[in-house]
Structure 1
Amino acid sequence: MRLLGPADVRRLAGELGVRPTKKLGQNFVHDPNTVRRIVNGANLTEDDVALEIGPGLGSLTLALLDACKAVVAVEIDPVLASRLEQTAAEQAPAHADRLTVLPADGMRVTAADFAQPPTALVANLPYNVSVPVVLHLLAELPSLKRGLVMVQAEVADRLAARSGSKIYGVPSVKAAWYADVRKAGPVPRAVFWPVPNVDSALVSFVRREEPSTVDRQAVFSLVDAAFAQRRKTLRAALAGWAGSAAVAEQCLVAAGIDPSTRGEQLDVVDFARIAQARTSL
């Protein structure tokens, strides 16, 4: 197998007439060492079915083919999607049959789209939709047990933030509903073409049991309300969500939460308790 280097990436892009667009969040990785680092960090086994969102020209795809049972690459750009299987046949002929290309939007795929349930998400995610894509996939694909994704460094910080941190917020809480999320190291700008004007980082996650049996959407709407006015106390911030500040206070007290607390001080279990208390009033 031969991984794609800078010259290969530019050649393929030229052949396809592809110019990376900000609209699709396209920044193609052209450094084989970075690709190997991502695949090694994903801890894939020969039984894994890897899901890659936004494979682009195939830099990461090729390395994934050598590391697991199968790879499903979801690509929204029809030009890129149509070339991926040929690239795999040319660069990794021994494992090209492991690849399935799904021309689709990663934000819209569901479990029914996959002949083999994906077990691991490994991807250089389009930066403009990275958080909603991760949350959508964790919700729609219970088969996903772990993952390693490359995102904007600022997004990585927010996804992995713990309660009490200034950057802790809606993405942090919602991701924690599904998984233990941690930062897994920085990625230099120079490994991309074109070079992005933001820093990048890797984020890993391992799925865990959901923290409560209360309806997830009920918890998530509560989280949205709590952080919509994050400078306010929860008694005030949740007034609209609960129907009044008085009812919000009732819910908080019933959940064992001080009404003068702010959202950034609570973890996902705390939010689940508040949502549960609301259903009991």
Structure 2
Amino acid sequence: MTHLLGPAEIRRLAAELDVRPTKKLGQNFVHDPNTVRRIVELAGVGADDVVLEVGPGLGSLTLGLLDSGARVVAVEIDPVLAGRLPATVSEHAAESVDRFSVLTADALRVRAADLPHEPTALVANLPYNVAVPVVLNLLAELPSLRRGLVMVQTEVADRMAAGPGSRTYGVPSVKLAFYGSARKVAPVPRAVFWPVPNVDSALVAFERSGAEPSTVDRGRLFAVIDAAFAQRRKTLRAALASWAGSADRAGEILAAAGVDPRTRGEQLTVDDFARIAAAR
């Protein structure tokens, strides 16, 4: 069994690299082996998987993922952290070295061609400020990605997993629903991180559905979603006026799509938005 990193080792590694976790990169390192094991277990990954890990940091979750038998491709934006990861893997999980690779890159710009293997699952402790854009970029760019389990700020988890009519339903909810289903799985206590964050965290699982909701172009669909929620207090007829060219034209498009122009964006499913985009 792989030896996982505890609080003392995390601090020793950080001191060795002269790493001071930065708020800008959203760095909060998990230092609790039991939390790592729980994340890996909930992710359900194993020897058949190629796991994409974004923001591996000092390698806590990386070692847990390798322990599952999966192949791990880590994407780390910080060159100092990325440079140390292979040594951490060989020190703590020597038998897993051939199943590990690291790419120094920004996950918001990763393309399929950048990766040495096609990932099947995303498992990551995501920097909170870019969590949703990272997940959406990876789902768009990596069709091989079938499922994922990500740790994010609780408020972000609520938005990712919300359904129509909910107070937290918005752009992230609808865009994620375009790819599949998301659900909030479990809270993660603040004490398992170093430094201790001043926000609560939660795990969100998502699964890509077999088919995307319509043949409508994703860019066109996402433009409607953005417009509908840019002024979420307004009716769709008013909120979509600039997107459609005028409020009257928005009303015509909504009627053609079978959507009441007086409703608001938060009442609609991704399929409703797809019909609106197609009706323009």
Residue aligned with 1:249, SS: helix
**% identical equivalent positions:** 72
Gaps of at least 5 residues in structure 2 are none
Q: State the one-letter code of the partner of 1:197.
A: N
Partner deviation per Cα, 1:74-105 (whole Å, 9 max, x = no partner): 00000000000000000001112211010111
Distance 1:170 1:199 in 2: 21
CA contact (8 A) 1:233 1:262 kept: yes
Q: Does residue 266 of structure 2 align to residue 264 of structure 1?
A: yes
Distance 1:96 1:154 in 2: 36
Distance 1:15 1:27 in 2: 17
Q: Give the 4+ runs in structure 1 shifted more than 6 A.
A: none
Distance 1:7 1:45 in 2: 28
Q: What does residue 150 of structure 1 align with?
A: 151
TM-score normalised by structure 2 residue count = 0.98
CA contact (8 A) 2:224 2:243 kept: yes
Residue aligned with 1:269, SS: helix
Residue aligned with 2:233, SS: coil
Alignment of 1:58-73 (within 5 A): 58-73=59-74
Distance 1:164 1:211 in 2: 19
Alignment of 1:47-196 (within 5 A): 47-196=48-197
**Alignment match of 1:239 (pick from 238, 241, 246):** 241
**Alignment match of 2:212 (pick from 210, 213, 229):** 210
Q: How well do the aligned residues superpose, as a CA RMSD in angstroms?
A: 0.6
Q: State the one-letter code of the partner of 2:145.
A: L
CA contact (8 A) 1:50 1:68 kept: no
Q: What does residue 7 of structure 1 align with?
A: 8
Distance 1:211 1:8 in 2: 47
Residue aligned with 2:258, SS: coil
Alignment of 1:28-47 (within 5 A): 28-47=29-48
Residue aligned with 2:94, SS: coil
Distance 2:113 2:172 in 1: 26
CA contact (8 A) 1:163 1:264 kept: yes
Distance 1:128 1:96 in 2: 31
Gaps of at least 5 residues in structure 1 are none
CA contact (8 A) 2:74 2:103 kept: yes
Q: What does residue 230 of structure 2 align with?
A: 228
Distance 1:68 1:130 in 2: 26
CA contact (8 A) 2:55 2:76 kept: yes
Distance 1:141 1:7 in 2: 36
Residue aligned with 2:137, SS: helix
CA contact (8 A) 2:51 2:120 kept: yes
Residue aligned with 1:94, SS: helix
TM-score normalised by structure 1 residue count = 0.98
Q: What does residue 276 of structure 1 align with?
A: 278
Q: State the one-letter code of the partner of 2:185.
A: A
Distance 2:178 2:7 in 1: 39
Residue aligned with 1:102, SS: strand
CA contact (8 A) 1:49 1:68 kept: no
Q: Structure 1 residue 234: deviation in Å? A: 0.2
Residue aligned with 1:158, SS: helix
Q: What does residue 27 of structure 2 align with?
A: 26
Distance 2:117 2:81 in 1: 22
Q: State the one-letter code of the partner of 1:228.
A: A
Q: State the one-letter code of the partner of 1:275.
A: A
Deviates more, 1:82-91 or 1:37-46: 37-46
CA contact (8 A) 2:45 2:70 kept: no
Q: Structure 1 residue 191: deviation in Å? A: 0.2
Distance 2:46 2:14 in 1: 31
Residue aligned with 1:20, SS: coil
CA contact (8 A) 1:163 1:267 kept: yes
Q: Figure out how many residues of one structure are paired with residues of the other and give that number.
A: 278
CA contact (8 A) 2:179 2:208 kept: yes
